Amino acid sequence: MDTYPVLVVDDLKEYRQSMEMLLESEGYRVWQAADIEEAMGILATEEVEIILTDLLLGSEYGIDLLSRAKAMKPDVEVIVLSAFATVESAVEAMKKGAYSYYIKSENPSTLLRDIERILEMKRLRRENRELRSGKVFLESENPAFRQLMEVVHRIASSSLSVLILGESGVGKEVIARHIHNLSKQKEGPFVPVHCQMYSKGLLESELFGHEKGSFTGAVARHIGKFETANGGTLFLDELGEMEESVQVKLLRVLEDKTVSRIGSSEAKKVDFRLISATNSKEVDGKIRGVREDLFYRLSGIVLRVPALRERMEDIPSLVRFFLHSAAQKMNKSVDMIEPDAMELLCRYPYPGNVRELRNIVERLVVLSDHQQITRDDVLLHVPFQTQPLSSGLREARSAFEKKYIATQLVNQRYDLDQTAQALGITRRQLNNKLLEYNLRGWLERRQQRK
């Protein structure tokens, strides 16, 4: 189980502390709040998966917190707590979106089971989203990528470690998750760890876990990723960013199949499949930043993922998928793309690969004010003519100014007076800029569509 963050809201300090002890003993990270405003402050600044709130918070009402929390973060789940059971309050809480209603006098195991069910529900939702996006990504028209997927299907059922090589953004984690879903470990967890996200010294604690008080800042017991991945698959992304001292310990875990938390001498048995990934190239059987002995241990099977520019025939299907996903997520009516716009998107080299394509499409959807993405949209928001490092400050500034003016025009719905005001210039100056940057024709076409 991961250290999922739980917010406990109760006006009684003693009850908050008792809940904190209970939840921390189960490996959860706990935040405390005494009233609604304090709770909303934590919710606004911290990652919170679940809220446990008392029905009566002094003069305040826990149902009000439920409504406000759901409005701020629709994905947060709320369990309402009460010392007194009434059918009316339970029904009201459930109508407002509470997951469940817990009576404080009940056995705590009931509450813990509800929390576990919430986390399982969240995990399934996450996996369903990932599976939908992964399916589109993995259905390729490119011969090299199809050959890669044939290898993936052949090796998925084995227990060999897998090393995935490829540029940033090509979809290494999607492939790793696909291997997991086809493997004998598919009923177990898929646990991704992005090594580049952790500063020096923190990755070891994230992988191995630690006991409460084992070092400064260890305010609660933390279950490490090795234990979390037991019975499933551990995915280590950007392996070359891992400190050498941690690589040595990782090698020992792989050989002994045991792990000890920081601050504990107890060795726990672990059994997981390891999939690693890096954007560094293999040169003479070596990977930059990876110990040679660890490389040999990890590279039972090596998969090389082609860059998006090497599978350009897949761009149209990816664009359509990202377009519909972004429109749905942002509640926009953009559901089409002009053929000329698609042609332009297929010509761009995508140095950031699939991740960059998704970001570009999402940006086009956000800034669009009509039902389809046009050629003008793409020309405006895709950096086809990025300034080389040798270009002067004047050229770079002009390129930025053109894009900034166009973005402000979109934001102000092509109203020249409002755009000029937003830019801090006169309308005459704005007209001169439109002529200078050849934006007049683009603006007129946009105004006609309004």
Residues in the chain: 450
- Specify whether 145 is located in the same domain as 252: yes
Domain end: 121, 154, 188, which one? 121
Q: Where does residue 5 rank: exposed (0-12), middle (13-18), buried (19+ CB within 10 A)?
A: middle
Q: Do the domain assignments include residue 133? A: no
**Residue whose C-alpha is closest to residue 405's, from 444, 434, 426, 382:** 434
What three-state secondary structure class fits 30?
strand
Distance CA 35, CA 51 (A): 13
DSSP assignment of 243-283 equals -HHHHHHHHHHHHH-EE--BT----EE---EEEEEESSPEE
Q: Residues near 371 by Cβ (< 8 Å), separated by ≥ 6? A: 333, 334, 335, 336
**What is the percentage of the chain residues whose pLDDT exceeds 90?**
39
- Specify whether 75 is located in the same domain as 222: no
Q: Do the domain assignments include residue 130? A: no
Distance CA 3, CA 366 (A): 34
- Specify whether 69 is located in the same domain as 172: no
- Specify whether 150 is located in the same domain as 290: yes
pLDDT at 96: 81
**Residue whose C-alpha is closest to residue 26's, from 104, 114, 99:** 114
In the predicted model, what is the mean pLDDT of residues 233-256?
92
Element (H, E) at 25: helix 13-25
- Specify whether 268 is located in the same domain as 398: no
Place of tokens 């990816």: 318
Output the domain CATH number for residue 327. 1.10.8.60
Confidence check: pLDDT of 391 > 70: no
Q: Between residues 128 and 253, which one has the greater pLDDT? A: 253
- Specify whether 207 is located in the same domain as 283: yes
Distance CA 205, CA 207 (A): 5
List Cα–Cα distances, 297 to 182, 254, 362, 382, in angstroms. 22, 8, 40, 42
- Specify whether 86 is located in the same domain as 24: yes
Place of tokens 């672990």: 270
- Specify whether 158 is located in the same domain as 244: yes
What is the chain's alpha carbon radius of gyration, rounded to the nearest angstrom?
A: 26
**Residue whose C-alpha is closest to residue 112's, from 121, 122, 102:** 102
Q: What is the pLDDT of residues 44-60, one digit of tens each?
A: 888 899 999 998 888 88
Torsion of CA 412, 417, 419, 424, to 10 degrees: -150
Q: Do the domain assignments include residue 127? A: no
Q: Do the domain assignments include residue 16? A: yes
pTM for the whole structure:
0.62
Q: What is the pLDDT of residues 319-343, one digit of tens each?
A: 998 998 888 888 888 878 999 899 9
**Residue whose C-alpha is closest to residue 29's, from 8, 12, 60:** 8
Distance CA 438, CA 88 (A): 65
Least trusted range by pLDDT, from 312-321, 353-362, 376-385:
376-385
Distance CA 10, CA 222 (A): 24
Distance CA 163, CA 424 (A): 53
Token duo for residue 381? 């928001």
Write phi, then psi, for 7 (nearest 5 degrees).
Answer: -105, 120
- Specify whether 152 is located in the same domain as 110: no
Distance CA 29, CA 48 (A): 9
Q: What are the b/e assignments for 264-276, b being 16+ CB within 10 Å?
A: eeeeeebebbbbb
Domain end: 88, 121, 154, which one? 121
Q: What is the pLDDT of residues 186-229, one digit of tens each?
A: 999 999 999 888 877 788 888 988 888 777 767 677 788 999 99
Confidence check: pLDDT of 422 > 80: yes
- Specify whether 197 is located in the same domain as 231: yes
Output the domain CATH number for residue 76. 3.40.50.2300
Token duo for residue 308? 């998006």
**Residue whose C-alpha is closest to residue 76's, from 91, 98, 55, 54:** 98
Output the domain CATH number for residue 144. 3.40.50.300
List Cα–Cα distances, 425 to 404, 407, 418, 432, 433, in angstroms. 13, 15, 10, 11, 10
Distance CA 407, CA 419 (A): 10
Distance CA 418, CA 415 (A): 6
Output the domain CATH number for residue 419. 1.10.10.60
Confidence check: pLDDT of 285 > 70: no
Q: Do the domain assignments include residue 134? A: no
Domain end: 383, 399, 430, which one? 383
- Specify whether 172 is located in the same domain as 76: no
- Specify whether 393 is located in the same domain as 355: no
Band the pLDDT of 411: cuts 50, 70, 90: confident
Where in the sequence is the domain holding 276, given as residue range(s)?
A: 139-306
pLDDT at 405: 86
